[in-house]
């Protein structure tokens, strides 16, 4: 008995050690990582977050990993890609950090405020809607993009044409997200028909399995999923909210907020923003307007 178990353990260990695997991604659909000029000698006076990052030698950036086109981590390469990720890369370059000095960290919707409050991340770029409630806990730079709440349904669905057609339908979204609050508060569907999961991808799974009728969140996110599922899903295309996406920052760091706002403004003026959009979300064929930065 003992010998056999030992042999099994050793065999497993040997297998693990000799494991050789493929490199690269099987699909290679991920957009090439944005490359930006790294600014030299950046100073952000009075920013504790920046000082901390400087002494650490790297930036820790919170992003999402399950939103193709926005923030997606390819498990075969461990590389992040998408619009949000490239915006994060742009900011870090303009803050004077080399591309390899960014550590991306996946943070789910429900844990975003906590991650910033805890100081787990220096800033957060991940479809983070600016609103008054969140401003009490964290600070926002931007907006760097304006999305709108929309619905994702199966490609052959014709009953759901907008939020007012949701009555009696099962609607899914992420726990703690703005869209689900909107659906609940406005009473678009009955409370018992609202399902909440930790991430949107789990909702998309449920939609594909036919257990929910619609997934709701911002159109930018939904477009990414629709593209990833190759013709099985469609975005209804009737937005019913305004979702300005901001860069989440620690609440009291006004110096860093101003600096990030400057970076975003410069990017929108010199065409860097447009290039990022075209390389990621723009691939779905839709266009987007540059938002106006809201300095508060």
Partner 1 sequence: MSMVLFDVPGPKARVRHKIMAVVGVAALVAALAYVVMRFIATDQFSSRRLDWINYKQIQLSLVEAIGNTLSAFAVGAVLALLFGAVFAAARLSDHAWVRGPAAVVVEIFRAIPLVVMMFFFYYGLPVAGVKLSAFTAVVVSLMLYNGSVLAEIFRAGINSLPKGQSEAAYALGMRKTQVMTLVLLPQALRSMMPTIISQLVVLLKDTALGFLITFEELLRWGTRIGGDAVNFGRPMISVMIVVALIYIGLCLLLTWFANYLEKRNRRSKKVIHTDDDEAGQTQVAESSAVMGAGSVL
Partner 2 sequence: MSVLTNNLDLFLRAFGQTLQLFAISGVLSLLLGTLLAALRVSPVPVFRAVGAAYVTVLRNTPLTLVFVFFLFGYPLLEIVKIEPYTAAVVALSLYTAAFVCEVVRSGINTVPVGQAEASRALGLTFVQMLGNVVLPQALRSVVPPMTSTMIALLKNTTVASGFAVFQAGTIRDSLSEQGENVLLGLLWVAIGFVILVMPLTYVQQTFEKRWSVAR
Does 176 participate in binding partner 2 (rule CB under 8 A)? Answer: yes
Partner from partner 2, partner 1, none contacting 54, C-beta within 5 to 8 A by type: none
Partner from partner 1, partner 2, none contacting 111, C-beta within 5 to 8 A by type: partner 1
Q: Which of residues 134-153 bind partner 2 (CB under 8 A)?
A: 136
Asked if residue 72 lies in contact with residue 30, where contact means CB atoms within 8 angstroms, the answer is yes
Does 195 participate in binding partner 2 (rule CB under 8 A)? Answer: yes
Binding site for partner 1 (CB under 8 A): 2, 5, 9, 16, 19-23, 25-27, 29, 65-66, 68, 72, 74-78, 107-108, 111, 114, 117-120, 198, 201-202, 204-205, 228-229
N- to C-terminal Cα separation, the chain: 69
What are the tokens at 253? 């760091």
Q: Using alpha carbons only, how large is the chain's radius of gyration in Å? A: 21
Partner from partner 1, partner 2, none contacting 131, C-beta within 5 to 8 A by type: none
User: Min. distance of Cβ 121 from partner 1 in angstroms?
Assistant: 12
User: Residue 70 is inside which H or E element, if any?
Assistant: none
Sign (positive or negative) of CA dihedral 62, 67, 70, 75: positive
Asked if residue 83 lies in contact with residue 69, where contact means CB atoms within 8 angstroms, the answer is yes
Nearer to partner 2, 146 or 172 (CB): 172
Asked if residue 44 lies in contact with residue 255, where contact means CB atoms within 8 angstroms, the answer is yes
Asked if residue 63 lies in contact with residue 126, where contact means CB atoms within 8 angstroms, the answer is yes
Nearer to partner 2, 176 or 279 (CB): 176
Asked if residue 174 lies in contact with residue 198, where contact means CB atoms within 8 angstroms, the answer is yes
User: Min. distance of Cβ 12 from partner 1 in angstroms?
Assistant: 8
Asked if residue 199 lies in contact with residue 45, where contact means CB atoms within 8 angstroms, the answer is no
Partner from partner 2, partner 1, none contacting 284, C-beta within 5 to 8 A by type: none
Partner from partner 2, partner 1, none contacting 181, C-beta within 5 to 8 A by type: partner 2
Nearer to partner 2, 29 or 205 (CB): 205
Nearer to partner 1, 66 or 144 (CB): 66
Does 211 participate in binding partner 2 (rule CB under 8 A)? Answer: yes
Q: How many CA atoms lie within 13 A of 211 on its CB side?
A: 11
Report the DSSP beta bridge partners of residue 138.
250
| Nearest-angstrom CA–CA distance, 15 and 17 | 5
Number of residues that bind partner 2 (CB under 8 A): 18
Does 38 participate in binding partner 2 (rule CB under 8 A)? Answer: no
The backbone torsions φ and ψ at residue 257, rounded to the nearest 5 degrees and listed phi first, read: -60, -45
User: Min. distance of Cβ 228 from partner 1 in angstroms?
Assistant: 5
| Nearest-angstrom CA–CA distance, 72 and 50 | 26
User: Min. distance of Cβ 197 from partner 2 in angstroms?
Assistant: 5
Q: Which residues bind partner 2 (CB under 8 A)?
A: 110, 133, 136, 172, 175-176, 180-181, 195-198, 202, 205-206, 209-211
């Amino acid at each position: 008995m003992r010998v056999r178990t030992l042999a099994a353990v050793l065999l497993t260990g040997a297998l693990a050690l000799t494991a050789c695997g493929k490199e690269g991604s099987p699909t290679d659909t991920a957009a090439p990582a944005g490359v930006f000029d790294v600014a030299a000698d950046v100073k952000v006076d009075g920013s504790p977050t920046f000082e901390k990052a400087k002494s650490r030698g790297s930036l820790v950036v919170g992003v999402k990993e399950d939103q193709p086109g926005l923030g997606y981590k390819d498990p075969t390469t461990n590389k992040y890609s998408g619009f949000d990720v490239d915006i994060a890369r742009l900011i870090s370059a303009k803050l004077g950090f080399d591309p390899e000095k960014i550590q991306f960290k996946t943070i789910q919707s429900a844990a975003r405020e906590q991650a910033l409050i805890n100081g787990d991340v220096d800033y957060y770029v991940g479809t983070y809607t600016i609103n008054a409630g969140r401003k009490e806990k964290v600070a926002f730079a931007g907006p760097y993009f304006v999305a709108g709440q929309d619905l994702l349904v199966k490609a052959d669905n014709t009953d759901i044409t907008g939020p007012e057609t949701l009555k009696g339908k099962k609607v899914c979204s992420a726990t703690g997200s703005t869209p689900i609050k909107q659906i609940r508060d406005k009473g678009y569907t009955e409370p018992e028909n609202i399902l909440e999961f930790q991430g949107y991808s789990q909702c998309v799974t449920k939609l594909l399995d036919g257990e929910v009728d619609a997934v709701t969140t911002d159109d930018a996110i939904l477009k990414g999923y629709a593209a990833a599922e190759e013709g099985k899903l469609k975005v209804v295309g009737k937005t019913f909210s305004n979702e300005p996406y901001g860069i989440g920052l620690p609440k009291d760091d006004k110096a860093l907020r101003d600096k990030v706002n400057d970076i975003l403004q410069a990017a929108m003026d010199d065409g860097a923003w447009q290039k990022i959009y075209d390389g990621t979300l723009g691939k779905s064929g839709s266009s987007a307007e540059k938002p106006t930065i809201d300095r508060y």
